[in-house]
Structure 1
Amino acid sequence: MKISDDIHNYYEKLVMQHFTLSKFDEKYDEDFLADLTCVVLNQLPTRYIRHEVDMAFYLPASERFEMESKVKTAITKSLEFMQSNQIYND
């Protein structure tokens, strides 16, 4: 059996949505964002899905809110970590 290209971690989408809404691409370069993404995702649990529609219809609002809260917390912690690392300081 081959794992389908459709299977992905739903938290990846939530992280990218937050990055887009916060206009991180205007604030940080690609290398910083790639490292930030890794640091953020390593703090979050995995939630593998095959179809986005499954999450839209079957995810309770309370669980969606909890997932978004975890993403925001992980991003905040990761930004603090990355910015305190001398490699990324101006």
Structure 2
Amino acid sequence: MSLRDAIDNFYEPLVAEAIEETREASDSQDYLEDVMCVALNRLPAKYYRHSVDMMFYLADGELETMKKNSLTAVKTAREFVKSHQRD
């Protein structure tokens, strides 16, 4: 296992969940991948090695705040990607 495989960003699954919540039938895989990249770039990195540790150290209400921030970032990213698509 490489070092890269041992570290994860806590926002990645939260952003993926927000994308699923806002998914539209016409969304292509490429579009959604672009949305995920843009959304993650707008959020702070929150790296961890073990998800159990991450959950233990989150302050009360921090997870809900992170979920709301992820949804906001995804909505903003969707608009950004739509307005910057190449024809």
Q: Does 1:78 align with 2:82?
A: no
Residues 11, 83 of structure 1: CA spacing in aligned structure 2 closer, same or farther, 3 A cutoff? same
Structure 1 residues without counterparts, runs of 5 or longer: none
Residues 23, 44 of structure 1: CA spacing in aligned structure 2 closer, same or farther, 3 A cutoff? closer
3-state SS of 1:61 partner: coil
3-state SS of 1:87 partner: coil
CA contact (8 A) 1:19 1:25 kept: no
Q: Does 1:47 align with 2:46?
A: yes
Output one character per residue of 1:13-49: Cα deviation in whole Å (capped at 9) or x when no partner: 11112223x1627441111111111111110100000
Q: 1:57 deviation in Å?
A: 2.5
Residues 1-90 of structure 1: matches in 2 within 5 Å?
Answer: 3-20=3-20, 22=21, 24=23, 26-87=25-86
Q: TM-score, normalised by structure 2?
A: 0.80
Structure 2 residues without counterparts, runs of 5 or longer: none
Residues 17, 39 of structure 1: CA spacing in aligned structure 2 closer, same or farther, 3 A cutoff? same
Q: TM-score, normalised by structure 1?
A: 0.78
Report percent identity of matched pairs. 38
The runs of at least 4 consecutive aligned structure 1 residues that moved more than 4 Å come to none
Amino acid in the other structure paired with 1:56: M
- Report how many residues are paired: 86
